[in-house]
C-alpha cells in the first residue's frame, strides 16, 4: 500500500527494471540505531531515512521509553528539526518530526514539538528545562545535503550512551508494523497533547546564557565588528538574538548563506571544519565591512569555527583545539574574577575528549581545578558533566577538537550559539587590552606550555583492511606485542580502548570504557608526543590525532612543530602504511 507516492515510485521503477543490485542496497539491511541515533541518506527502503523508517524508529523508541518511565504520559518528550529536505523522496526534517510526534501522541504521550527550525542545542535545553523524559532532534548536522539524522537525548539532557542504543534498537525490531494512524500526521494539530515550546525556549534560553555574560559595558561600547555565517542552516536568527542578549551590536550576516537552504548551494560540504573553503564568502564580506573576526556555525548550529584577520592581512582559522584553549582560559578567568568563594576551586571541573588537546589539563594543574578526559564524543562529556553536577560540582566548560564547545551548564551538549556570543565577548574584552585572539592564544601557551596538535585521516572502504591494520599494530613484533618505536620515536606507553589494555596502569587495565566494536589505540612517546588512531563511527575513515605538549618556558614553537611533523610522518609511514594498505589520503 503506497503511503508515500515518491518512495513507492522509486521502488516500483527498480522492480520494473529488475535492478536487483539497487534493491539490495535499499532493502538489504536496516539502518543501525547507535548512540548517535540514526544518520543516513534520505530515500526509499529500510537502509534510508524516510517516512516508514522514522515511524518504525519512533515506535521502538516510544515502547522503550514506556518501559523505562512510568510517568512518560505525564512528562512527555520534545522534538525539534532543522531545515533539511529531499525533493525526490519527499523526505524533510519537518515531515519526519511531525511523524515522530504523531507516533507518541497516538500513545497518549505529550509532545513538545517546535513549530519552526531550531538549533540542535535547544532540544537538550528543553529536556532539562521542562524535566522531560527524552528529546529527539531531526538533523544530519554538517553531513552532505542528501543525508538526514535522528538524534536522541535521555532525561538527563545528554545524548544517550550504551546500553540505551541496544535497547532502542531491539524495540525498533519488535515494532516494525506501523500502528493504525501512523501516517496521518494531521491528527496532531487538533490534539491537546501537542505543545509548542518555541516562544518559551526563545525567551528562557537567552535568559540562561546571560549568566555567562560578564562584560556588558564593554560589549555596548566595542568597535569590534563580527561577520557571522550560518552556512545555509538554522543559526542566523539565534546568533542575532544571542548578540542582543549580550548587548553586542548584531554581527554582519553573510547574505548568500543566512537563510536556510537544504541544497547548500554555495559550499561543497556544509562543514565549517573543512576550513577556508566554507569561509570564502565570509572573508569577502569581512573585507568589505571591515570586520576582524568571523564566526561560522555548522548547519544545525551546534558547532563553531572562528577566523581572525592577522596584522599581515592573512586570515587565521583557529583549530578546534586552539579555540578550546582560548575559551577554557576565558571561562576560567571569568569564573575566578566573579567567584565569591576561593575555596570552591576544588569543586570546579573542565572536560575534554581523549582525542582533543590536553591544554585544559595544563591550565587545571597550574590553577588548581579538576580536569577529566572522556571518550570521544559529546555524549560522554554531557553524561559525565551531569554526574558531576549532581554531586554539587561546577562544570565550567567542555570541548572536543571537532569544533564542539559546551560553555553553559544549561545545555549538556555542544552549542554553537552560546559559544559564538561568548567568543565575541572575549574578543571585545581583549580588544580593550589591545590584544587579538591570536596574541591571547600565544599568551595562554606561554603561561601553560605550548600544545601543538595535528590531525588528519585516511579513507578506507574495506573493513577487512582496517581490521588488518589494527591487528598488525597489536602483533607488531610477534604475537601480542605492540610497537616499541615508530621510526626514530620511542614508544613509552600504549592504551588500547578496543581491547581494554593500558600499559601505564598497575593492572594494565584501561580506566576509560572500552568498545570492541570500534578501533582505538593511543601511543605515548618518550618526547612528550601523543598520537591516537581510531576508526570513525559515521564515515569510512581511519583518523589520527597527534599532540606535542611542552612544559611552560619552552618557547621554540618552530622546533616543536618540526618535531611533531616528523612524528606524524613516521606514524603515517610505519603504522598506517598507506601504499601497502591502499589508503586514500585526505585531500585538501
348-405 per-position pLDDT tens digit: 999 999 999 999 999 999 999 999 999 999 999 999 999 999 999 999 999 999 999 9
579 Cβ contact partners less than 8 Å away, ≥ 6 residues apart: none
Q: What is the pLDDT of residue 517?
A: 84
State whether 467 and 497 are in the same domain. yes
State whether 24 and 59 are in the same domain. yes
Q: Among residues 403, 420, 448, which one ends one of the domains?
A: 448
- For Cα atoms 142, 78, 166, give the angle at the middle one, nearest 5 degrees: 70
Q: Among residues 317, 335, 370, which one ends one of the domains?
A: 317
Burial of 254 (0-12, 13-18, 19+ CB in 10 A): buried
Give the pLDDT mean for 504-531.
93
State whether 25 and 164 are in the same domain. yes
Q: Report the C-alpha gap between 204 and 358 in whole angstroms.
A: 34
Q: Is residue 257 part of a domain?
A: yes
Instruction: Name the maximum alpha-carbon separation found in the chain.
Output: 74
Q: Report the C-alpha gap between 54 and 426 in whole angstroms.
A: 42
Residue 111 pLDDT more than 60? Answer: yes
- Tally of domains within the chain: 4
Q: What is the pLDDT of residue 343?
A: 66
Q: What is the pLDDT of residue 557?
A: 87
Give the pLDDT mean for 204-222.
98
Q: Report the C-alpha gap between 397 and 242 in whole angstroms.
A: 18
Q: Is residue 309 part of a domain?
A: yes
| Least confident span in 113-122, 243-252, 476-485, 533-542 | 533-542
State whether 17 and 149 are in the same domain. yes
Residue 556 pLDDT more than 90? Answer: no
State whether 172 and 234 are in the same domain. no
Residue 253 pLDDT more than 90? Answer: yes
Among 27-36, 360-369, 532-541, the range with the most confident prediction by mean pLDDT is 360-369
Task: Indicate the helix (H) or strand (E) that contains 564.
Answer: helix 557-570
Give the pLDDT mean for 79-104.
97
CATH code: domain of residue 178: 3.40.120.10
CA proximity to 416, closest of 262, 235, 209, 261: 235
State whether 48 and 141 are in the same domain. yes
Q: Is residue 200 part of a domain?
A: no
CB 253 within 8 A of CB 294: no
Q: Report the C-alpha gap between 175 and 510 in whole angstroms.
A: 38
CATH code: domain of residue 556: 3.30.310.50
Q: Among residues 317, 334, 351, which one ends one of the domains?
A: 317
Q: What is the pLDDT of residue 193?
A: 98
Q: Report the C-alpha gap between 159 and 382 in whole angstroms.
A: 7
Residue 2 pLDDT more than 90? Answer: no
CA distances from 353 to 271, 373, 390 (A): 20, 5, 20
List, in sequence order, the alpha helices (H) in 493-553. none
State whether 353 and 371 are in the same domain. yes
44 φ/ψ angles, rounded to the nearest 5 degrees? -85, 160
Q: Is residue 117 part of a domain?
A: yes
Residue 453 pLDDT more than 80? Answer: yes
Q: What is the pLDDT of residue 296?
A: 98
Pairing mode, strands 489-496 and 370-374? unpaired
Residue 570 pLDDT more than 70? Answer: yes
Encode pLDDT of 315-348 as tens digits: 999 999 999 999 999 999 999 998 877 669 999 9
Domain range spanning residue 560? 450-585
Q: What is the pLDDT of residue 342?
A: 63
CB 275 within 8 A of CB 316: no
Q: Is residue 553 part of a domain?
A: yes
User: Across 256-314, where does the E strand assignment appear?
Assistant: 293-297, 304-309
3-class DSSP state for residue 306?
Answer: strand
State whether 94 and 243 are in the same domain. no
Catalytic sites, residue numbers? 141
Q: What is the pLDDT of residue 495?
A: 97
State whether 221 and 254 are in the same domain. yes
Q: Which residue pairs from 162-170 have beta carbons closer than 8 angstroms and sit at least 24 positions apart in sequence?
A: 162/35, 164/35, 164/64, 165/33, 165/34, 165/35, 167/64, 167/67, 168/33, 168/60, 168/61, 168/64, 169/32, 169/33, 169/34, 169/60, 170/60
Q: Is residue 277 part of a domain?
A: yes
Give the pLDDT mean for 472-500.
96
State whether 281 and 363 are in the same domain. no
Q: Is residue 201 part of a domain?
A: no
Q: Which residue pairs from 283-286 have beta carbons closer than 8 angstroms and sit at least 24 positions apart in sequence?
A: 283/307, 283/315, 285/227, 285/252, 285/254, 285/255, 286/227, 286/252
State whether 310 and 416 are in the same domain. no
19 Cβ contact partners less than 8 Å away, ≥ 6 residues apart: none
Pairing mode, strands 91-92 and 85-86? antiparallel
Q: What is the pLDDT of residue 165?
A: 95
State whether 39 and 151 are in the same domain. yes
C-alpha cell at 34: 547507535
Encode pLDDT of 39-70 as tens digits: 999 999 999 999 999 999 999 999 999 999 99
Q: Report the C-alpha gap between 119 and 300 in whole angstroms.
A: 5
Burial of 271 (0-12, 13-18, 19+ CB in 10 A): buried
Task: Indicate the helix (H) or strand (E) that contains 111.
Answer: strand 111-113
Q: What is the pLDDT of residue 275?
A: 78
Pairing mode, strands 194-195 and 111-113? parallel
What percent of the chain has pLDDT above 70? 99
Q: Is residue 121 part of a domain?
A: yes
CA proximity to 152, closest of 479, 470, 378: 378
To the nearest whole number, what is the mean pLDDT of the chain? 95
List, in sequence order, the alpha helices (H) in 193-352. 198-209, 216-221, 236-245, 276-289, 320-338
Q: Report the C-alpha gap between 181 and 414 in whole angstroms.
A: 36
Amino acid at each position: 500500500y503506497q503511503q508515500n507516492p515518491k518512495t513507492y515510485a522509486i521502488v516500483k521503477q527498480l522492480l520494473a527494471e529488475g535492478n536487483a543490485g539497487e534493491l539490495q542496497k535499499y532493502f538489504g539491511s536496516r539502518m543501525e540505531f547507535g548512540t548517535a541515533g540514526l544518520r543516513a541518506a534520505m530515500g526509499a527502503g529500510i537502509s534510508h531515512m524516510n517516512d516508514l523508517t522514522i515511524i518504525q524508529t519512533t515506535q521502538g523508541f516510544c515502547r522503550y521509553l514506556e518501559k523505562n518511565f512510568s510517568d512518560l504520559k505525564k512528562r512527555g518528550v520534545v522534538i525539534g528539526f532543522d531545515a533539511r529536505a529531499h525533493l525526490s523522496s519527499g523526505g524533510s526534517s519537518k515531515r519526519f518530526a511531525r511523524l515522530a510526534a504523531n507516533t507518541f501522541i497516538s500513545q497518549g504521550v505529550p509532545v513538545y514539538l517546535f513549530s519552526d527550525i531550531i538549533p540542535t542545542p535547544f532540544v537538550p535545553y528543553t529536556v532539562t528545562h521542562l524535566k522531560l523524559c527524552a528529546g529527539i532532534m531531526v538533523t544530519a548536522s554538517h553531513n552532505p545535503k542528501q543525508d538526514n539524522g535522528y538524534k536522541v537525548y535521555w532525561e538527563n539532557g545528554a545524548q544517550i550512551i550504551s546500553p540505551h542504543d541496544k535497547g532502542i534498537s531491539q524495540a525498533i525490531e519488535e515494532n516494525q508494523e506501523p500502528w493504525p494512524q501512523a501516517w496521518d500526521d494531521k491528527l496532531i494539530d487538533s490534539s491537546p497533547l501537542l505543545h509548542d515550546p518555541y516562544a518559551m525556549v526563545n525567551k528562557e534560553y537567552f535568559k540562561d546564557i546571560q549568566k555567562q555574560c560578564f562584560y556588558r559595558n564593554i560589549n555596548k561600547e566595542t568597535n569590534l565588528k563580527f561577520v557571522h555565517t550560518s552556512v545555509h542552516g538554522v543559526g542566523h536568527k539565534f546568533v542575532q538574538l544571542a548578540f542582543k542578549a549580550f548587548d553586542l551590536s548584531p554581527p554582519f550576516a553573510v547574505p548568500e548563506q543566512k537563510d536556510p537552504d537544504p541544497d547548500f548551494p554555495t559550499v561543497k560540504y556544509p562543514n565549517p571544519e573543512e576550513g577556508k573553503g566554507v569561509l570564502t564568502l565570509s572573508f569577502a564580506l569581512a573585507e568589505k565591512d571591515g570586520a576582524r573576526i568571523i564566526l561560522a556555525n555548522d548547519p544545525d548550529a551546534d558547532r563553531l569555527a572562528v577566523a581572525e584577520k592577522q596584522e599581515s592581512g592573512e586570515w587565521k582559522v583557529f583549530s578546534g583545539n586552539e579555540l578550546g584553549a582560548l575559551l577554557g582560559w576565558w571561562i576560567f578567568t571569568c569564573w575566578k574574577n566573579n567567584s565569591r568563594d576561593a575555596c570552591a576551586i576544588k569543586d570546579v571541573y573542565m572536560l575534554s575528549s581523549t582525542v582533543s588537546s590536553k591544554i585544559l589539563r595544563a591550565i587545571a594543574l597550574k590553577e588548581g581545578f579538576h580536569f577529566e578526559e572522556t571518550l570521544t564524543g559529546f555524549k560522554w562529556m554531557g553524561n559525565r558533566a551531569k554526574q558531576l553536577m549532581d554531586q554539587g560540582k561546577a562544570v565550567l566548560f567542555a570541548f572536543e577538537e571537532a569544533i564542539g564547545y559546551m560553555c553553559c551548564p544549561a545545555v549538556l551538549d555542544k552549542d554553537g550559539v552560546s559559544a559564538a556570543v561568548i567568543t565575541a565577548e572575549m574578543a571585545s574584552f581583549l580588544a580593550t587590552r589591545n590584544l587579538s585572539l591570536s596574541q591571547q592564544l600565544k599568551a595562554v601557551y606561554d603561561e601553560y606550555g605550548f600544545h601543538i596538535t595535528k590531525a588528519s585521516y585516511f579513507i578506507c572502504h574495506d573493513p577487512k583492511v582496517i581490521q588488518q591494520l589494527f591487528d598488525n599494530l597489536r602483533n607488531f613484533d610477534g604475537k601480542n606485542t605492540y610497537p616499541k618505536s615508530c621510526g626514530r620515536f620511542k614508544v613509552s606507553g600504549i592504551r588500547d580502548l578496543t581491547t581494554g589494555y593500558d600499559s601505564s596502569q598497575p593492572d594494565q587495565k584501561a580506566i576509560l570504557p572500552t568498545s570492541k566494536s570500534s578501533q582505538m589505540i593511543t601511543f605515548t612517546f618518550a618526547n612528550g608526543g601523543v598520537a591516537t588512531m581510531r576508526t570513525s563511527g559515521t564515515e569510512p575513515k581511519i583518523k589520527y590525532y597527534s599532540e606535542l605538549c611542552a612544559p611552560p618556558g619552552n618557547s621554540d614553537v618552530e622546533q616543536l612543530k618540526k618535531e611533531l611533523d616528523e612524528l606524524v610522518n613516521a606514524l603515517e609511514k610505519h603504522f598506517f602504511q598507506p601504499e601497502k594498505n591502499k589508503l586514500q589520503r585526505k585531500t585538501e
